Structure 1
Amino acid sequence: MGRGEHETELSIARRRGMSNSYWIGVDLGKQSLDAAVAEVGGPTAQWMRLPAASFETNPGLAPLVRWAQAQLDGGAVAGVCIESTGRLGWRFMETLGDALGPVSMVNPARTKAFGDSLGQRDKTDRADACVLAFYGATMQPPPTAKPSAVLQELRECNRLFSALSTDKQAYQKRLLDGPASALVRKELQQTIRALERRMAKMQEHMDNLIAADRSMKDDVERITSIKGVGPRTALVLLAELGDLRRFSRNELASYVGLYPRCHESGSSVRKRPRMVKRGGAAIRKALYLCAMSARVHNPQMRRLFQRLTQNGKAPMAALGAIMRKLLLLARSLLVNNTVYDPCHT
């Protein structure tokens, strides 16, 4: 059993008209987790009085499952709501399996705003678990599909490659500063060469993963058919987004953070729209480099850049539009199973 007991029985919060369907909110931690149970249709005022408990993660999730099932009182679990926490969340999904119900991994920014709307004052694990449970019962987010083993491997390798690249750039900058010590210069050079070898090894492994998966290999070929988009960008898109076909156009642009945010109020506030820059920073970085190349070497993107700047758009805003265009174009090629044709786009 967990460290703490739930503070109130679910029967206390029972009200007429409830669906007898429940959502379980779980606030994940490395050493422990907190869980809460909320009934669909439950009163908003009761969100802080939801039954909740804390569990150590070492014994596994069996105590959590037993406790959660004991709170249902014959009802059914509609879903389990957790925040997107990287490996911690995926490990939880894999370990839990189908023991309780489908797991929905949600954006922490959404649950934070939802908690603020409820008047959440305390930032505790128990309170976060209650917010997650009530968010699930209210919003009923769709289940999150678990990525394939190949995609997980590709994603982790790509992120390590990016980290190694960042380290390499940092050491190169230190070397360019011209250290006076010959020993320091030697150590920096050796470190840079070692990082380059590790990056080459990682890149080879990722190339082999894609070559062994026919679907990914075909997707890379379609994406790289766009003039200005190289294999590295295609790899980043697949590693971070998975199958682009699962997104609609607006969902994809929103997920990556490539849409303008307006800031207007009354007659006096008229700020210039700006890109929100939320979501996948690594994807935006790769697309920005592609946009810089495409505006010169891709006639279609060059015309788009010229048209936008002639209409008064700032050069950076025009580049943002090219980034969005390249992303949606890559999705369109995958959806239609075709390659880039500048005459038909």
Structure 2
Amino acid sequence: MMPLNAAVTPCDRPISFDCCDESQNVTSGHRSEQCVHNVRSAKRTGAVIPDAIVTWLDTLDHDVRIVFEATSGCDGELIAALAARGHPFSRVNPRQAREFARATGTLAKTDRVDARVLAQMGAALDLPATIPLSPARTRLADFLRRRRQLVDMRKAEKLHRHSAGQPEIAQAIETMIDLLSRQIAVLDRQIAAFIAEDQTLAEQARLLTVVPGIGPTVLATLLGELPEFGTLCRRKIASLAGLAPPCPRKRNMARRQTHMGRTAKGP
């Protein structure tokens, strides 16, 4: 699991929050630190341990804002707890946080350093509040992530055909490809059902299907991973999705920064 770094920023009084698999470090503006156990440690032992993240959030006022990096699904429990309390938060792109660290002269990269950088970033910048996904959209995004994983596995197996060497190995590869294809087909049916069952998703899907070139996979991806679709102007949504055209004089640099807008969600 990747560590989860977060910072609480009530105006100019940042409090850094770093969460990893078994513990988290809370650092105030004066860099006093505290370590508490995380609920993830109970997954291996089967013991019931109170969620330290939830307990910690209950001590915060609603006028503070939590800033944390998108960490490939490791921040799911934090997002769920924040959404349940209606607590404002900003989920930032890790690359943007890293660029901010470099701009402020911070070259080291550790969990504690990352948390302090996020605190400084939240205090210095007017970060937009992240709108939490609805349960239906969250479920759709989870199934889309699993579909991408299976598609990547199938692609890798197809590449293995050329180096099989033996007929038995080639047959095993074809069997695996068929299995992955069947599982992808099952996921496609489940994803279509999720969209049809939710009124909001179904209405957005009806509008998107009239656009030429949008098939079932692109449609589901837009609905599950771009909830801002339909709420922003064409320029902002293009920038968020990483599709904004580059500056003519800095074409190469802009091409390398195409994905700055959308926070990553993992493979």
* TM-score bracket, shorter-length normalisation: 0.7 to 0.9
Pick aligned residue for 2:175 from 182, 190, 194: 190
Pick aligned residue for 2:216 from 228, 231, 236: 231
Which segments of 5 or more consecutive residues in structure 1 lack a partner in the other structure? 1-18, 39-48, 70-74, 265-269, 283-345
Q: Is the 8 A contact 1:262 1:271 kept in 2?
A: yes
Distance in 1 between residues matched to 2:62 and 2:198, nearest whole Å:
39
| Shift of residue 207, structure 1, vs aligned partner | 0.7
Query: 2:199: which partner in 1?
Result: 214
Q: Which amino acid aligns with 1:186?
A: Q
Distance in 2 between residues matched to 1:66 and 1:142, nearest whole Å:
20
Instruction: Tell whether 2:64 aligns with 1:78.
Output: yes
Q: Which amino acid aligns with 1:113?
A: E
Secondary structure of the structure 2 residue equivalent to 1:50: coil
Query: 2:148: which partner in 1?
Result: 162
Q: Is the 8 A contact 1:23 1:134 kept in 2?
A: yes
Distance in 1 between residues matched to 2:81 and 2:141, nearest whole Å:
20
Query: 1:31: which partner in 2?
Result: 22
Pick aligned residue for 1:133 from 107, 119, 123: 119
Distance in 2 between residues matched to 1:122 and 1:164, nearest whole Å:
35
Max radius of gyration: which structure? 1
Pick aligned residue for 2:226 from 235, 241, 255: 241
% identical equivalent positions: 23
Pick aligned residue for 1:105 from 81, 86, 91: 91
Q: Which amino acid aligns with 1:83?
A: E
Q: Is the 8 A contact 1:33 1:55 kept in 2?
A: yes
Root-mean-square deviation over aligned CA pairs: 3.2
Pick aligned residue for 1:255 from 236, 240, 247: 240
Distance in 1 between residues matched to 2:83 and 2:222, nearest whole Å:
27
Distance in 1 between residues matched to 2:11 and 2:185, nearest whole Å:
55
Q: Is the 8 A contact 2:62 2:88 kept in 1?
A: no
Instruction: Tell whether 2:103 aligns with 1:117.
Output: yes
Distance in 1 between residues matched to 2:58 and 2:95, nearest whole Å:
28
Distance in 2 between residues matched to 1:141 and 1:274, nearest whole Å:
22
Show the 5 A alignment for 1:334-345: none
Query: 2:37: which partner in 1?
Result: 56
Distance in 2 between residues matched to 1:131 and 1:163, nearest whole Å:
31
Secondary structure of the structure 1 residue equivalent to 2:212: coil
Which segments of 5 or more consecutive residues in structure 2 lack a partner in the other structure? 1-9, 40-49
Distance in 2 between residues matched to 1:239 and 1:221, nearest whole Å:
15
For normalisation by structure 1, the TM-score amounts to 0.61
